[in-house]
């Protein structure tokens, strides 16, 4: 038993509209045609997909399970159609980029602007995402390149170090510590601290910094990312430890940034699918990215 795309389309239409009439209107075909296709589909798969109760269709448990897989197939077909359309409209190609928020807020947009100076006819898509969705998009081949501040461990991905930064302290203006040139962990203890979930990568990093100096992290607010922390510092809620990429993505007048004594070093990575050759578009973007990182002092 094999289902063709038309049968899948009819089944999906009935599921999302809940009726033969709704499916016929969605597909622009007659109601008898939908009924015949649905009956033929049920006979081929060997079990009922819908129960007809008081003139209404009710999906069976089997139909609901099948629908989840159908949606996956339908999404794939839609992506194929969208890609075909985009390739037709953008003859020079399309480059899909994703990044973590620390790098995606300002650094990657600046690189994209630089890249477009020499590639004005290339279409680019760009999203900044948290770590897990970033990995999923790459593995599903919904993105060509990812730029992340955290390492990504997966056998189907390869990563290249493209730059380095340090953790710094960001403070509201007129904060007592803003008069100091360099800070250590002990200096932060009397002041409200904005930190991260203990299980997150940044949360673990901050805990290690405090533990190394014999102190315990006691945040007044926990946030999901350094960008969130910067926003709260700007609002005056406290001070925070963030990566340089995040701190520099905010306008200089919004808060004060101070270096830390013996700060941990952070690495920026370029990540891609390991078993695919690098396209010319990807390589040209990588070259632009590395040149930008070097010019900004993040790479040697």
Asked, colleague to colleague, whether 5-88 and 93-162+274-295 share their fold, the answer is: no
pTM: 0.67
Query: Using one digit for the tens of pLDDT, what is the confidence trace for 254-279?
Result: 789 999 999 999 999 999 999 888 88
CATH classification for the domain delimited by 93-162+274-295, as one of 3.50.50.60, 3.90.1570.10, 3.40.30.10, 3.40.190.10: 3.40.190.10
* Sign of the torsion formed by the C-alpha atoms of 69, 72, 74 and 80: negative
The CATH architecture that domain 5-88 belongs to is Orthogonal Bundle (1.10)
Query: Using one digit for the tens of pLDDT, what is the confidence trace for 181-218?
Result: 999 999 999 999 999 998 888 999 999 999 999 999 99
Regarding predicted confidence, which is higher, 163 or 63? 163
Q: Which of 10-24, 27-41, 77-91, 165-179 has the lowest mean pLDDT?
A: 77-91
Q: What is the pLDDT of residue 85?
A: 65
Q: What is the pLDDT of residue 61?
A: 85
Do 240 and 169 touch, CB atoms closer than 8 A? yes
The kind and range of the H/E element at 212 are helix 201-212
Rounded average pLDDT over 25-29:
88
Q: What is the pLDDT of residue 252?
A: 64
What percent of the chain lies above the pLDDT cut of 70? Answer: 94
Of residues 211, 208, 206, 251, the one with CA closest to residue 233: 251
Strand intervals (E) in the chain: 50-53, 56-59, 94-99, 123-128, 145-148, 157-171, 193-196, 221-223, 239-243, 256-259, 265-273
- Helices 280-295 and 107-118 pack at an angle, to 10 degrees, of 120
Query: Using one digit for the tens of pLDDT, what is the confidence trace for 88-122?
Result: 655 567 899 999 988 988 899 999 999 999 998 88
For 79, what's the count of Cα atoms within 13 Å in the CB-facing half-sphere? 10
165-266 belongs to CATH 3.40.190.10: yes
Q: Is 38 exposed, middle or buried (0-12, 13-18, 19+ CB in 10 A)?
A: buried
Q: What is the pLDDT of residue 88?
A: 60
Mean pLDDT of the chain: 88
SS (H, E, C) 61-102: HHHHHHHHHHHHHHHHHHHHHHHHHHHHHCCCCEEEEEECHH
Domain spans, the chain: 5-88, 93-162+274-295, 165-266
């Amino acid at each position: 038993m094999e289902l063709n795309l038309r049968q899948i389309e009819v089944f999906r239409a009935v599921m999302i509209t809940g009726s033969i009439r709704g499916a016929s209107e969605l597909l622009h075909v007659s109601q008898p045609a939908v009924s015949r296709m649905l009956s033929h589909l049920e006979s081929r798969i060997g079990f009922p997909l819908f129960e007809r109760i008081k003139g209404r269709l009710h999906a069976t448990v089997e139909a609901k399970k099948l629908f989840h897989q159908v949606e996956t197939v339908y999404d794939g077909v839609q992506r194929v159609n969208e890609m075909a359309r985009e390739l037709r409209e953008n003859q020079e190609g399309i480059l899909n980029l994703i990044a973590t928020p620390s790098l995606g807020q300002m650094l990657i947009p600046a690189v994209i602007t630089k890249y477009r100076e020499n590639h004005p006819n290339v279409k680019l898509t760009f999203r900044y995402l948290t770590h897990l969705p970033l990995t999923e998009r790459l593995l599903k081949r919904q993105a060509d390149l990812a730029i992340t501040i955290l390492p990504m461990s997966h056998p189907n991905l390869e990563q290249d170090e493209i730059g380095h930064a340090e953790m710094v302290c960001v403070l509201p203006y007129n904060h007592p510590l803003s008069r100091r040139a360099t800070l250590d962990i002990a200096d932060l203890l009397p002041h409200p601290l904005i930190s991260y979930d203990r299980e997150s990568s940044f949360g673990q990093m901050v805990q290690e910094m405090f533990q190394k100096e014999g102190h315990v992290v006691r945040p007044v607010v926990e946030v999901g990312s350094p960008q969130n922390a910067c926003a709260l510092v700007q609002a005056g809620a406290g001070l925070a430890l963030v990566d340089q990429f995040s701190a520099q993505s905010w306008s200089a007048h919004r808060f004060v940034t101070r270096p830390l004594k013996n700060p941990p070093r952070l690495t920026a990575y370029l990540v891609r699918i390991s078993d695919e050759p690098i396209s010319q578009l990807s390589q040209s973007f990588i070259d632009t990215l590395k040149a930008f990182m070097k010019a900004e002092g993040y790479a040697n």
